A and B are shown apart, each in its own frame.
Chain A
Amino acid sequence: MLSTLIWLPIGGATIASFCSAKWARIVAILTSSAILFLHVLLLRQFNLGTGEFQFSENLPWLPNIGLNYTLGVDGLSLPLLVLNALLTWLVLCFDREVKERPRLFYVLILLIHAGLSGAFLALNTLLFLLFYEIELIPLYLVIAIWGSKQKNYAATKFLIFTAVSGILILAGFLGLAWVAPAPKPVFDYQSLRSLSLPVTAQIVLLLLLVAGFAIKAPFVPFHTWLPDTYVESATPVVMILGGVVAKMGTYGLFRFCVGLFPEAWSLLSPWFALWAGLGILYGAVTAIAQKDIKRMVAYSSIGHMSYVLLAAAAVTPLSLVGGIAQMVSHGLILALLFNLVGIIEKKVGTRELDVLNGLLNPLRGFPTVSALLILGGMASAGIPGMVGFIAEFLVFQGSFSKFPLPTLLAILGTGLTAVYFVILLNRTCFGKLDNKTAYYPKVLSSEKLPAFVLTTLIVFLGIQPHWLVTWSETTAQKISSRLPSNAIVQLINLQQQ
């Protein structure tokens, strides 16, 4: 089952690469639809009662170096897998923006999907790193080929940052394998979890991994690749990038940093929480200063990913559920916002806040797109009734008891999110269309469909959050239970001193 989720898109990509552009699209749509269907089946068969890995697969690959094909899914990876499948399906089914070399585009998107799925499913650190690095190549290509003016600069910057991230993570995994008290290097996740390492070694290795994943997520100050990459990428690419790819960073944080170094994590978590709080504020304040709506949404992402860091730092069952929900929520909302911003840019020809105005005009504007943008902005600002509120509320509720100050900073950041979205919506949607310029082409129904699908999910999961959090509750409980209690952490602290 799990292998199919990886190999089906690779198979689809292989077939599509031999077809004409038209048939490549059909193959891509059929493949992504099949993948989405498989994910629905996976959801149906997933056992909510256990926090262990399910549907596990284990094949020896290169046992001598510890690289095995070990896959498994739990409540942490399942929501992200589904998010990945959904966004890929939306991009492949409804995107009409890519006119140039469409076949290559479909192939690369399928390969990115396979890489992401592999990373979310891998239970071997080397296998994870393999997928983590493999998806970098198609990602670089989709940014560099279909991006806008500064695409080469953005793609190269993305490549360099992510490569450094990969090196840091590799260093962390190798270090872990070598330090582990075992006859030969250990890369198997389950085995690594049962190891007991000295706290100092844990801290050094943890910091390597945190730095690596912080680049991918990204967290301040490792974020500088993000605005350029998001802004220069084509709409479907940035939907995948912001929606899922960035989640690999936070997924790695949960899976490997919290999962493998519980003592070290507990020791450093106050600093991580403070880092998260400051990151949220930084993201919000820089977003307020932006004049380009796509850049504004991009900066909003920096702040919103830090909520996940806060949740991870707190490591309470509630905060972990909130963190996972925030990954999904952010993926949906960011994909929606980038989709809508992309439509506006395509139709109006600009993303400048000072130029855009009155798009809510019922006859000559984009009333539906604007209405959805307002809704997306509200969801991102954590307005109740939408999925963003649920995720952020769980994070705050789960984190406040452990880290009140960073949580308060995060709440302040949520208020600032409302500020920049009000600025964006006020200038973009409201006001008056200019007589001289308002001859924008109509937005076709097919162009609006992805936004409708995403909006439906955002609202539905906001009203019925059970469908979002139920998958990860047991896993969150399990991760949280592995962490030492406060008393033990204090003891470790004393020992360190």
Chain B
Amino acid sequence: MPSTLIEPTTKLPPSTHPFAEIIHRLERGGSMLPDTEENLMQIIGLYKAYAIPMDFYWRDLLYIAERVFLDPVPAFKYFLPKEYLELANHYAGDNADLRIWRGYATAHKELLEFIEKGELKARIPKLFHHFYHDRINMEFAEECMRAMFWHRNMGGLLEPYMDSAEYKQNADRAIRAYFRDNPIMLGLYKLFPDMFIEQCRQATMYSVLGLFWEVMCPVFLEMSDIYDEGGFKGVPDAMNFLVNGIFAIAGRPIYHRVYIRGEWYDIVPKSKGFTWLYEAAFPYVEAVFYRTSPFRGTKSYNAQAREVPDDQNDFHYGILYADKFPVASAGIPPTLLHQDMYHFLPQYLVDYYQKFCRGADDMLIQLGVSFQRSMYNVTSAVIQAGRAAFLYPLDDPNPRHLWANRYYFEGQLNRFANPKYGMNKAARILAIQSQDYR
């Protein structure tokens, strides 16, 4: 049963944008993803399947940022200690700062079970699971972090702060403490200080992404629970839940601290007032959804044919453009995230995938497409949140305000319609309008 959309009292003439139909939907409070029961089922199922590995991602990202830090040989950085598995999520459980998920704050039970037995369903030493790739693949999370770190300058105040003298001073303090008993590394630090500071910035980005996903994990789990209880009536409901969540959480702090020999060293202190929405959510969406996702199925590009933009702003290799099929050679499997989500698919989604294409055989591709749909919905939520934050209500009677909203929506969708570098062909926005895109 589709959810009810807003019917503005003031009508604007139809948009002439190539994606006019989608713009009209956004103007009525809808999502870029069509409102169908099938779409809702797919995106919520995927949110659930994504939330559980994400529970590992955020914990491990924080572990790397706070404990592994500048370890020159971080061989065991993906082996999460018990302390971090029991780390309380600030947005779940009874003692949450802001309770989003009604469940518990420690690592998800399905995740713990998977860590213990893996896909092999056998209790063997962790190292064997690891080498067999029978684990949560942190490589995906790290690639997301690197995408954010590489693009940088996507707005927010954290970016300039990381280049400030204060940041360098904080980092210097932490670096000296971390390598206190290691004269070789201290000597290297003296010789190449910028390299160490850059590594420290990367650790900060670990922390930023970890804190971002610490929020998103309970959001997705709660959405899954609400759906299971029959709570969402359509795709816009799911999107609005995200929009409301974004506003509720927007001001949560973004920080980076390192734990060295029993003492916490602030590199980006909470007191600086960096917030979740501007320093983590927006840059994440920009970097991973639009510009450079770690998905190996991303549109193939050829530098010699000038397919790679000179300007990082023109990159368009994010999830929203990702091809469901691998490129370069046909033998590369889909992204590791697909593999991670595959382990935690809800049964209704497994049953659904069995009915189409090659059933169990190409479930990784089918869930990849569902993931793309769900990320278009998340992007829609971010677009709507941006509209709500900076522009006007959708039922505003003032036509000038509605025109401003339209220009905003059209501006956002222009990113998918730009023929430069073949962006319009690479974007999957038209593909997801059809249920047959699987």
A residues engaging B (CB < 8 A)?
A: 358-365, 367, 370, 429-433, 435, 438-439, 441-442
- Neighbouring B residues of A361 by C-beta, 8 Å: 325-326, 330
Q: Does B291 contact A (CB under 8 A)?
A: no
- Neighbouring B residues of A363 by C-beta, 8 Å: 333-334, 358, 361-362, 364-365
- Neighbouring A residues of B329 by C-beta, 8 Å: 360, 430
Asked if B333 and A362 sit within 8 Å, CB to CB, the answer is: yes
CA distance A438 to B357 in the complex (A): 10
Q: Does B153 contact A (CB under 8 A)?
A: no
CA distance A362 to B361 in the complex (A): 9
Known: A359-B330, A364-B325. A435 touches B365 (CB 8 A): no
Closest 9 CB pairs of A and B: A360-B330, A363-B362, A361-B330, A433-B325, A358-B330, A442-B358, A363-B365, A432-B327, A364-B362
Best-buried of B300, B323, B330 by chain A (most CB within 10 Å): B330
Asked if A435 and B331 sit within 8 Å, CB to CB, the answer is: no
**Shortest distance between the CB of A317 and any CB in chain B (Å):** 45
- Give which listed residue, A360, A438, A442, contacts B331 with CB less than 8 A: A360
Nearest A-chain residue to B368, judged by Cβ: A363
29 A-B residue pairs with Cβ-Cβ distance under 8 Å, sorted by A, are A358-B325, A358-B330, A360-B329, A360-B330, A362-B331, A362-B333, A363-B333, A363-B334, A363-B361, A363-B362, A363-B365, A364-B358, A364-B362, A367-B331, A370-B330, A429-B330, A430-B329, A431-B330, A432-B300, A432-B323, A432-B325, A432-B327, A432-B330, A433-B330, A435-B323, A435-B431, A438-B325, A439-B357, A439-B438
Asked if A435 and B361 sit within 8 Å, CB to CB, the answer is: no
- Neighbouring B residues of A370 by C-beta, 8 Å: 330
Chain B residues 305 to 349 lying within 8 A of chain A, measured CB to CB, are 323-327, 329-331, 333-334
Contact with A along B150-172 (1 / 0, CB 8 A): 00000000000000000000000
B residues engaging A (CB < 8 A)?
A: 300, 323-327, 329-331, 333-334, 357-358, 361-362, 364-365, 428, 431, 437-438
- Neighbouring A residues of B333 by C-beta, 8 Å: 362-363
Best-buried of A361, A364, A431 by chain B (most CB within 10 Å): A364
CA distance A161 to B364 in the complex (A): 52
Asked if A364 and B431 sit within 8 Å, CB to CB, the answer is: no
CA distance A363 to B326 in the complex (A): 10
- Neighbouring A residues of B428 by C-beta, 8 Å: 435
CA distance A460 to B436 in the complex (A): 44
Nearest A-chain residue to B323, judged by Cβ: A435
CA distance A430 to B332 in the complex (A): 11
Nearest A-chain residue to B329, judged by Cβ: A430
CA distance A486 to B329 in the complex (A): 55
Asked if A365 and B324 sit within 8 Å, CB to CB, the answer is: no
- Neighbouring A residues of B323 by C-beta, 8 Å: 432, 435
**Shortest distance between the CB of B74 and any CB in chain A (Å):** 31
CA distance A433 to B333 in the complex (A): 13
- Neighbouring B residues of A433 by C-beta, 8 Å: 325, 330
**Shortest distance between the CB of A173 and any CB in chain B (Å):** 54
**Shortest distance between the CB of B205 and any CB in chain A (Å):** 31
Asked if A430 and B358 sit within 8 Å, CB to CB, the answer is: no
CA distance A432 to B426 in the complex (A): 13
Nearest B-chain residue to A360, judged by Cβ: B330
- Neighbouring B residues of A438 by C-beta, 8 Å: 325
**Shortest distance between the CB of B369 and any CB in chain A (Å):** 9
CA distance A56 to B211 in the complex (A): 87
- Neighbouring B residues of A359 by C-beta, 8 Å: 330
CA distance A429 to B330 in the complex (A): 8
CA distance A441 to B325 in the complex (A): 16
**Shortest distance between the CB of A2 and any CB in chain B (Å):** 48
**Shortest distance between the CB of B426 and any CB in chain A (Å):** 10
CA distance A345 to B5 in the complex (A): 47
CA distance A133 to B300 in the complex (A): 56
Best-buried of A365, A432, A439 by chain B (most CB within 10 Å): A432
Nearest B-chain residue to A433, judged by Cβ: B325
CA distance A429 to B331 in the complex (A): 10
CA distance A439 to B329 in the complex (A): 19
Asked if B330 and A435 sit within 8 Å, CB to CB, the answer is: no
- Neighbouring A residues of B361 by C-beta, 8 Å: 363, 442
Known: A359-B330, A362-B331, A430-B330. A435 touches B362 (CB 8 A): no
Nearest A-chain residue to B334, judged by Cβ: A363
- Neighbouring B residues of A362 by C-beta, 8 Å: 330-331, 333
Best-buried of A363, A370, A429, A441 by chain B (most CB within 10 Å): A363
- Neighbouring B residues of A431 by C-beta, 8 Å: 330
Asked if B331 and A364 sit within 8 Å, CB to CB, the answer is: no
**Shortest distance between the CB of A332 and any CB in chain B (Å):** 27
**Shortest distance between the CB of B133 and any CB in chain A (Å):** 15
Known: A358-B330, A430-B330, A435-B431. A364 touches B300 (CB 8 A): no
CA distance A49 to B330 in the complex (A): 51
Nearest A-chain residue to B326, judged by Cβ: A361
CA distance A364 to B323 in the complex (A): 13
CA distance A344 to B357 in the complex (A): 17
- Give which listed residue, A364, A441, A442, contacts B365 with CB less than 8 A: A364
- Neighbouring B residues of A429 by C-beta, 8 Å: 330
- Give which listed residue, B326, B357, B437, contacts A435 with CB less than 8 A: B437
Nearest A-chain residue to B324, judged by Cβ: A435
- Neighbouring A residues of B357 by C-beta, 8 Å: 364, 439
**Shortest distance between the CB of A270 and any CB in chain B (Å):** 47
CA distance A364 to B366 in the complex (A): 10
**Shortest distance between the CB of A86 and any CB in chain B (Å):** 31
- Neighbouring A residues of B324 by C-beta, 8 Å: 435
**Shortest distance between the CB of B366 and any CB in chain A (Å):** 9
- Neighbouring B residues of A442 by C-beta, 8 Å: 358, 361
CA distance A370 to B365 in the complex (A): 19
**Shortest distance between the CB of B407 and any CB in chain A (Å):** 31
- Neighbouring B residues of A367 by C-beta, 8 Å: 331
